[in-house]
């Protein structure tokens, strides 16, 4: 009996030890991704990629919650402060400083260097997130503005694609008639106008908003000339362009009411809402002022920020980003909106997965020009390797667009408007 | 007689002018939701559609989470309306009939809720809801919507209660009615137009609320129409057909509500305006 009791006790102890010693089934690392690509087809494409990633990585579970650009500037800091923020969050350059300032970001310099060695990032896309001794986000895709037109309309009018401002103005004048506006340029106090105004500034040598010491240098002759020329061109735009955002410009072009527009892309809209003839859709670099050597454009290198401080989650997030940037996946990711999102890596620009998309194949020549234009991309506040995070406040208040409205709507002279713009910028960053 | 004829004609003309002025944009939105994409963005807008398609509605309902947004909005707006009504009536009755210290001051003070821009309380409210686990919950939206609709609803209902002759209440009291009976069985039916007005006010306030819904809700499955829909239509590229189809569907519940109780609403507006 005693022997039996001893045996039972021993067996129980052995079982207990075995149970304790056996490793608990590892829980997968859960990652929450917030991005601002809300249209249903983009959400669906991101979900496809997430599904295939999750299937290939059973130890990681990624989920997405699309957010809206309109609210994310307030929502993300609030969520992070309350401990309900995401682990990965998409960004544009002027959003990142806001989260960096509240201590939500850790530099990803080493990780970006590793990815750069493997995929070769477009330098300007990394530069936009490199300041204060760190790299604060991983570039994912680029957007650059171009000049859009119809080849047949230019041919009919006997006009060559303009490369300089005088040629551009002459083309717009020649194309203006009872049926068509020569060009569609916005004058709304909104981000789209900030972007198009900056297109004019960079093409007149006024790309820098800051001096090296961080003081504002907005009020200079090149900027005044750029605004003056913008106002002259804007006079050939539809009267409602003072309230335009991107969609109205695209509609104007697609309906043939505007002969030219500046846009990141019109491919999807042109294909679904206009005639959809790839042979007729023209895309070109934005014309530059006389005396400038080449054309530049505004470009938005979009990126992803890693917000989690948890080591396992950061590792999992890096694994997910590595996966997205692999050429066989990267093209599928970019083509969530074909023709809008440009690659930020050298191997991405040649990836079969990118060019295999039917729309990318159909409009290949246009997309190639867009990629080329993106090489000369700049973004206000993030130029010449100098980044001033206070640009976030200037951008948030649309001061570039506000300055234009002083000219176009209030009738001020370009010099006075730019001087007032400089004062507003200084007041904003104080 | 001829003056009457001229008067009638001019009244009809002015009426027709305002009907067209107000109705034309709605007509354009409704009719364009059924147009082909090319016709929607055509240089010259067509008031009578030249094409007909259901593709925008099909895409909206099958390829987006619009039905979920619609259901969430219905749930939040209906719950917020019912709770507002349940709370506003006794509060208004208390302010109207009961004597308690500081009644008038408190009555005026409740409108202080509207003195501050709502964005001011956005972040503190987010923190509070996060602390009690209500971020990304429709309950949070219902609480916020009720909180913002209630003060004005109390004011409106008190005005309606003031239109009821005191003799009716006195007669009920003589018959032995208590406060609750008086409020529910006597006053409630008499201020039905006021209830309808407050109901419509609370419903529309909740149905169109954007700011808090955009920040307090995180997941797509909990979004309401204003926030979810703004994401569907896109930023750089606008799908105009989707926009128009979504707008058409979004106004249907409000139109249905007006169709059901709109007559009371108009009667309520006029009755509440005159004591």
CB atoms B215 and A265 under 8 Å: no
| Nearest CB partner across the interface for A65, out of B214, B218, B238 | B218
Q: Is B46 on the interface with A (CB under 8 A)?
A: no
Mean pLDDT of chain B: 88
Over the stretch A74-113, which tens digit does the pLDDT of each residue have? 889 988 988 889 999 999 998 898 899 899 999 999 999 9
Closest by alpha carbon to B208, among B240, B236, B230? B230
Burial letters for A247-259: b for 16+ Cβ neighbours within 10 Å, e otherwise?
A: bbbbbbbbbbbbb
Closest by alpha carbon to A137, among A87, A172, A93, A177? A93
Look-up: residue for tokens 């983009």?
A42
CA distance A64 to B196: 41
Q: Is B62 on the interface with A (CB under 8 A)?
A: no
Shortest Cα–Cα distance, A85 to chain B (Å): 9
Over the stretch A280-303, which tens digit does the pLDDT of each residue have? 999 999 999 999 999 999 999 999
Over the stretch B142-171, which tens digit does the pLDDT of each residue have? 999 999 999 999 998 998 888 888 888 888
Q: Is B58 on the interface with A (CB under 8 A)?
A: no
Mutation site for A-interface testing, chosen from B39, B60, B237 by largest number of A Cβ within 10 Å: B237
Over the stretch A266-284, which tens digit does the pLDDT of each residue have? 898 899 888 889 999 999 9
Q: pTM of the prediction?
A: 0.82
CB atoms B238 and A274 under 8 Å: no
Q: Is B220 on the interface with A (CB under 8 A)?
A: yes
**Distant-in-sequence contacts of A385-388, Cβ < 8 A, 24+ apart:** A385/A127, A386/A210, A386/A212, A387/A93, A387/A127, A387/A128, A387/A130, A387/A131, A388/A209, A388/A210, A388/A214
CB atoms B135 and A82 under 8 Å: yes
CA distance A250 to A265: 9
Secondary element (H or E) of residue B49: none
Shortest Cα–Cα distance, B222 to chain A (Å): 11
Q: Which residue of A has its CA nearest to B129?
A: A82
Based on its alpha-carbon atoms, the radius of gyration of chain A, rounded to whole angstroms, reads 26
Closest by alpha carbon to A183, among A241, A114, A126, A258? A258
| Nearest CB partner across the interface for B231, out of A66, A75, A269 | A66
| Nearest CB partner across the interface for A70, out of B122, B230, B234 | B230
Shortest Cα–Cα distance, A237 to chain B (Å): 14
pLDDT band at residue A17 under the 50/70/90 scheme: very low
Alpha carbon separation from A184 to A187, A405, B45 (Å, rounded): 10, 16, 18
Shortest Cα–Cα distance, A153 to chain B (Å): 16
pLDDT band at residue A18 under the 50/70/90 scheme: very low
Most confident residue range from A53-57, A131-135, B157-161? A53-57
Over the stretch A161-215, which tens digit does the pLDDT of each residue have? 999 999 999 999 999 999 899 999 999 999 999 999 999 999 999 999 999 888 9
Over the stretch A119-130, which tens digit does the pLDDT of each residue have? 999 888 998 899
Q: How many residues does chain B have?
A: 275
Based on its alpha-carbon atoms, the radius of gyration of chain B, rounded to whole angstroms, reads 23
Look-up: residue for tokens 């090489």?
A375
Burial letters for A93-126: b for 16+ Cβ neighbours within 10 Å, e otherwise?
A: bbbbbbbbeeebbebbeebbeebbeebebbebbb
């Amino acid at each position: 009996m005693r022997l039996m009791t001893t045996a039972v006790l021993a067996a129980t102890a052995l079982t207990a030890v075995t149970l304790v010693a056996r490793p608990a089934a590892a829980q997968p690392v859960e990652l929450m991704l917030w991005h601002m690509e809300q249209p249903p087809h983009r959400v669906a494409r991101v979900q496809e990629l997430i599904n295939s990633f999750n299937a290939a990585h059973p130890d990681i579970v990624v989920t997405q919650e699309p957010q809206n650009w309109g609210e994310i500037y307030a929502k993300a800091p609030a969520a992070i402060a309350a401990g309900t923020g995401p682990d990965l969050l998409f960004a544009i350059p002027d959003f990142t400083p806001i989260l960096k300032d509240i201590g939500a970001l850790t530099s990803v310099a080493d990780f970006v260097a590793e990815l750069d060695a493997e995929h070769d990032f477009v330098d300007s896309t990394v530069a936009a997130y490199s300041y204060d001794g760190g790299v604060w986000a991983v570039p994912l895709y680029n957007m650059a503005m171009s000049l859009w037109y119809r080849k047949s309309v230019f041919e009919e009018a006997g006009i060559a694609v303009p490369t300089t401002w005088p040629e551009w103005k002459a083309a717009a004048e020649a194309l203006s008639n009872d049926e068509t506006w020569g060009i569609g340029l916005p004058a709304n106090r909104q981000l789209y106008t900030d972007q198009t105004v900056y297109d004019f500034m960079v093409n007149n040598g006024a790309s820098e908003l800051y001096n090296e010491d961080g003081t504002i240098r907005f009020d200079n002759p090149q900027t005044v000339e750029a605004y003056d020329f913008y106002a002259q061109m804007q006079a050939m735009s539809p009267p409602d362009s003072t309230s335009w955002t991107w969609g109205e410009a695209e509609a104007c072009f697609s309906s043939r009411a505007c002969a030219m527009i500046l846009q990141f892309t019109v491919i999807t809209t042109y294909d679904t809402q206009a005639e959809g003839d790839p042979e007729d859709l023209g895309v070109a670099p934005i014309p530059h002022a006389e005396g400038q050597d080449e054309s530049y454009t505004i470009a938005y290198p979009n990126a992803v920020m890693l917000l989690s401080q948890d080591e396992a989650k950061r590792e999992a997030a890096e694994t997910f980003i590595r996966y997205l940037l692999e050429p066989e996946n990267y093209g599928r990711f970019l083509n969530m909106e074909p023709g809008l999102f440009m690659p930020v890596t050298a191997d991405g620009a040649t990836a079969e997965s990118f060019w295999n998309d039917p729309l990318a194949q159909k409009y290949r020549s246009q997309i190639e020009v867009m990629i080329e234009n993106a090489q000369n991309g700049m973004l206000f506040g993030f130029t010449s390797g100098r980044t001033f995070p206070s640009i976030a406040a200037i951008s948030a208040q649309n001061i570039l667009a506000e300055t234009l409205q002083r000219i176009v709507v209030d009738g001020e002279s370009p010099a006075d408007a730019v001087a007032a713009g400089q004062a507003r910028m200084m007041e904003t960053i104080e | 007689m001829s003056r009457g004829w001229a008067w009638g004609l001019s009244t009809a003309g002015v009426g027709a002018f305002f009907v067209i002025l107000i109705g034309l944009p709605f007509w354009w939105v409704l009719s364009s939701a059924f147009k082909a994409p090319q016709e929607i963005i055509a240089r010259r807008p067509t008031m009578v559609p030249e094409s007909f398609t259901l593709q925008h509605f099909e895409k909206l309902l099958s390829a987006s989470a619009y039905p979920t947004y619609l259901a969430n909005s219905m749930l939040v707006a209906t719950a917020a309306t019912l709770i507002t009504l349940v709370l506003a009536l006794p509060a208004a009755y208390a302010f109207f009939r009961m004597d308690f210290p500081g009644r008038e001051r408190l009555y005026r003070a409740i409108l202080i809720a509207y003195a501050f821009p709502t964005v001011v309380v956005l972040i503190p409210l987010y923190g509070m809801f996060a602390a009690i686990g209500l971020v990304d919950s429709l309950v949070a939206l219902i609480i916020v919507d009720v909180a913002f609709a209630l003060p004005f609803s109390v004011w409106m209902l008190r005005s309606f209660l003031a239109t009821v002759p005191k003799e009716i209440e006195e007669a009920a009291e003589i018959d032995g009615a208590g406060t609750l009976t008086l409020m529910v069985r006597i006053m409630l039916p008499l201020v039905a137009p006021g209830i309808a007005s407050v109901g419509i006010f609370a419903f529309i306030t909740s149905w169109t609320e954007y700011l808090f819904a955009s920040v307090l809700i995180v997941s797509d499955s909990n979004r309401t129409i204003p926030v979810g829909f703004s994401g569907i239509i896109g930023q750089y590229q606008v799908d105009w057909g989707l926009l128009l189809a979504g707008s058409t569907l979004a106004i249907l519940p409000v139109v249905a509500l007006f169709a059901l109780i709109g007559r009371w609403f108009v009667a309520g507006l006029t009755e509440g305006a005159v004591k």
